[in-house]
Amino acid sequence: MDDFKQQYSQMRSRQRMAYQVPISDEVKRINVQKEQDIEHHQIERLIDVVIEETGIDVRSHRRKKPIVAARKVIALYLFKNYKLTYSAIGTLLGDFDHSSAISMINTAQDLSSVKDQYYTEIERTILNIINKCKN
């Protein structure tokens, strides 16, 4: 019986060791999480500043032209500069799903390439606010 207990104990300790993450990896994971939290806070603040400066609530689900255009500008900016996932962009801009974020980004790229006057004006305004906020 003692032999069995010893074998069982050794097996359990090997199993526990297999599930343990080396400390250095755990520290790296925590640091990455802290960086992501800081970045997330910066993005939230950036969106808040745009809302305050323009008076356009990009987080609302309304489909008025200025709101939609501003949302598209910010979605494209976040996608290009922060390399966020579509899902994260949708969540930041008012709990939209990933397919809405994809649509926002694709449409923003199309409007940018066509040089739509209304969109270009909103884009210029929002990017100026973002640049001021970053400096």
| pLDDT tens digits for range 39-96 | 888 899 999 999 999 999 999 999 999 999 999 999 999 999 988 889 999 999 999 9
Strand, coil or helix: 128: helix
Distance from chain centroid for Cα 62: 21
What gap in Å lies between CA 119 and CA 65, rounded to an integer? 9
CATH topology of domain 36-134: Chromosomal Replication Initiator Protein Dnaa; Chain: A; (1.10.1750)
Q: Quote the mean pLDDT of the chain.
A: 84
- Supply 44's token pair: 């939230």
Q: Is the pTM of this model over 0.85?
A: no
Where exactly are the structural domains of the chain? 36-134
Rounded Cα distance, 19 and 2, in Å: 26
Mean pLDDT of 5-31: 63
3-7, 119-123, 131-135: which range is least confident on average?
Answer: 3-7
